[in-house]
């Protein structure tokens, strides 16, 4: 819904530009995390740098978060729980990457368990990528 898109931009004090509206609308419609390259293919009329900056802006505001799946290209997905903002992200959920279809999804309801560390080490954040076969493959 385009009104969700507009509301998100308003709530975050972001100007409603063509690029932001189209990109955010697209991101909200995706089941899986997307790369900058996919956005480039989807929106060939926006400059690639503008797309990078749009992603960066959304991430700064806590609208989307990035997922590093080891493919070389950073992927992005909308933050779900409303617990992310310009003051920081709270995305300590699991990410799943299918080894067949290569899609990356947020496993939002699975929290990363506590990890015991050796003496002297203090954890500040955790990032868990599970790879395997998804429910479609």
State the residues that interact with a copy of itself by CB under 8 A.
68, 70, 94, 96, 99, 107, 109-110, 112-113, 115-136
CB 112 to a copy of itself: min, Å = 8
Minimum distance of DNA from residue 53's CB (angstroms): 5
For 13, which DSSP code? T
Instruction: State the nearest-atom distance from the C-beta of 73 to Zn ion, in Å.
Output: 18
Q: What residue 106 binds from Mn ion, DNA, a copy of itself, none (CB within 5 to 8 A, per partner kind)? A: Mn ion
Rounded Cα distance between 63 and 96, Å, is 20
Sort 50 into a burial class: Cβ within 10 Å, 0-12 / 13-18 / 19+.
Answer: middle
Task: Name the binder of 119 from Zn ion, DNA, Mn ion, none, CB < 5-8 A by kind.
Answer: none
* Chosen from a copy of itself, Mn ion, Zn ion, none, partner binding at 100 (C-beta under 5 to 8 Å by type): Zn ion
DSSP type of residue 15: -
Tell me the two tokens of residue 121. 């080490």
**Residue 32 C-alpha from the chain's centroid:** 9
Q: How far is residue 39's CA from residue 50's CA, in Å, rounded to a whole number?
A: 11
Report the interface residues with Mn ion, using CB under 5 A.
Answer: 77, 106
């Amino acid at each position: 819904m385009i009104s969700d898109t507009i509301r998100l931009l308003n709530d975050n004090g972001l100007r409603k530009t063509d690029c932001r509206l189209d990109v955010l609308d697209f991101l909200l419609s995706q089941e899986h995390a997307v790369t900058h390259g996919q956005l480039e293919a989807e929106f060939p009329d926006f400059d690639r740098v503008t797309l990078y900056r749009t992603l960066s802006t959304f991430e700064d505001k806590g609208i989307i978060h990035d997922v590093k799946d080891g493919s070389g290209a950073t992927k992005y997905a909308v933050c779900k729980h409303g617990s992310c903002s310009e003051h920081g992200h709270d995305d300590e959920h699991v990410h799943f990457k299918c080894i067949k279809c290569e899609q990356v999804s947020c496993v939002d309801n699975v929290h990363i368990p506590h990890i015991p560390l050796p003496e002297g080490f203090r954890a500040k954040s955790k990032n868990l990528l599970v790879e395997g076969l998804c429910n479609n493959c």
